[in-house]
Amino acid sequence: MGEDAGGGHEFVVVANRLPVDEITDGDGPSRWERSPGGLVSALHPVVRQRGGAWVGWTGSAGDAPDAFDVDGMRLWPVPLSAEDVDRYYEGQSNATIWPLFHDLVEQPTHRRDWRQAYEAVNRRFARAAAEVAAPDATVWVHDYQLLLVPAMLRELRPDVRIGFFLHIPFPPVELFMQLPRRRELLKGLLGADVVGFQGALAAQNFLRLTGQLLGLEPEDDRVGVDGRTVVARAFPISIDVAEVDQFAADPAVQQRARQLRTELGGDRRLLLGVDRLDYTKGIEQRLEAYHDLLADGEISNDDVVLVQVATPSRQRIAQYQQLRERVEREVGRTNGEFGDVGR
């Protein structure tokens, strides 16, 4: 990462994934295209406008490519080995922290080697951000995979301003206390100057924990630590509305929408869900409710159609494999009972 070290970037986003996917068409050369997803949709316009850098993983295990430019952003890849992916990403991040932060909707798994990998990878991200950031830069760290990065980055670069934003819920005291090394996670977040959450209750949970777990004295939306003041507040995330409006007004998009509506049954009322295939999205419950509405005669297949787009996710984790099987079974049950030719 040496080419920009020294001068560096005034604005740096740090997230587990880079905002691009590598696309390969047949035998041709690969290319990078912008990724789908809420985090990228929200942050991409900001980074592009600021001419900033984005530090993250490419999504493939192995050596990372050199820094490259995409759509007005400088992207700095961080390498993850296959073992890192297994332990840091699929393990500690998605089989421990994710279910616990989502109110134990699935039972978390706790393993020491996962925690050790999580700490090592977080340190790698912190070092990458420290190399990329200009003096007195603003560094914005994102989400549950990188809870330790703010404090690690502050040790390396006390000159930079650090923000952290959590894109998932933050649990109440009773749940957070189940985590091994919970003090270290809390101290990691307190390395930031501003800790942002989606909702006010999450910010309150965080501040309450700083008092109960670390003996600090939070007041209103802030808490003092090591001679600094950390602000913790809800900042509900948005999207680039102008960009979405532009897509919606595109004649080609409107024409394709008309084609899809015709293919799906013309004037039937269309219910559309677009989600990652995750047990926190309620897809299984949504399908069961739709089945019951059909069974009770509240709606008719002649009048309504449900389209659920569900992108497969974290397919090496057992809970996600089981969820996919249950969803496919429920789709088959509903279509078998109420579908007919073409419907």
Give the span between the Cα atoms of 72 and 86, in whole angstroms.
Answer: 32
pLDDT at 23: 79
Model confidence, pTM: 0.82
- Most confident segment among 3-17, 20-34, 217-231, 269-283: 217-231
Is the confidence at residue 281, as pLDDT, over 50?
A: yes
Q: Encode pLDDT of 16-28 as tens digits.
A: 999 888 877 767 6
Instruction: Characterize the bridge pairing of strands 133-142 and 73-77.
Output: unpaired
pLDDT at 342: 66
pLDDT at 163: 98
Which residues fall within 8 angstroms of residue 93, CB to CB, at 6 or more apart? 16, 118, 144, 145
Cα–Cα nearest to 283, from 328, 218, 246, 239: 328
Rounded average pLDDT over 39-63: 87
Q: How far separated are the first and last CA of the chain, in Å rounded?
A: 54
What percent of the chain is modeled with pLDDT above 70? 96
What CATH code would you report for 250-338? 3.40.50.2000
Give the span between the Cα atoms of 75 and 56, in whole angstroms.
Answer: 8
Q: How many other CB atoms are there within 10 angstroms of residue 292's CB atom?
A: 12
What percent of the chain is modeled with pLDDT above 90? 63
Tell me what the pLDDT averaged over the chain comes to. Answer: 90
Q: Where are the domains of the chain?
A: 7-234, 250-338
Biggest CA–CA distance in the chain, Å, is 70
- Asked whether 250 and 212 are in contact (CB, 8 A), the reply is no
Higher-pLDDT residue of 30 and 277 is: 277
pLDDT at 4: 41
Higher-pLDDT residue of 243 and 293 is: 293
Give residue 90's identity as a one-letter amino acid code. Answer: E
Note whether 7-234 and 250-338 share their fold: yes
φ/ψ (deg, to 5) at 267: -90, 10
Distances from the Cα of 73 to the Cαs of 12, 34, 126, 215, in angstroms?
A: 10, 11, 19, 41
- Token couple for 168: 């998932």
What CATH code would you report for 7-234? 3.40.50.2000
Sign of CA dihedral 21, 47, 195, 41: negative
- Token couple for 230: 């950390």
DSSP 8-state assignment for residue 29: P
Higher-pLDDT residue of 316 and 129 is: 129
Give the span between the Cα atoms of 180 and 165, in whole angstroms.
Answer: 22
Give the span between the Cα atoms of 124 and 64, in whole angstroms.
Answer: 13
How many degrees, rounded to 5, is the angle at CA 33 between CA 28 and CA 35?
Answer: 135
- Token couple for 318: 């057992």
Residues of 40-62 as b/e, b for ≥16 C-beta within 10 angstroms? bbbbbbebbebebbbbbbbbeee
pLDDT at 50: 83
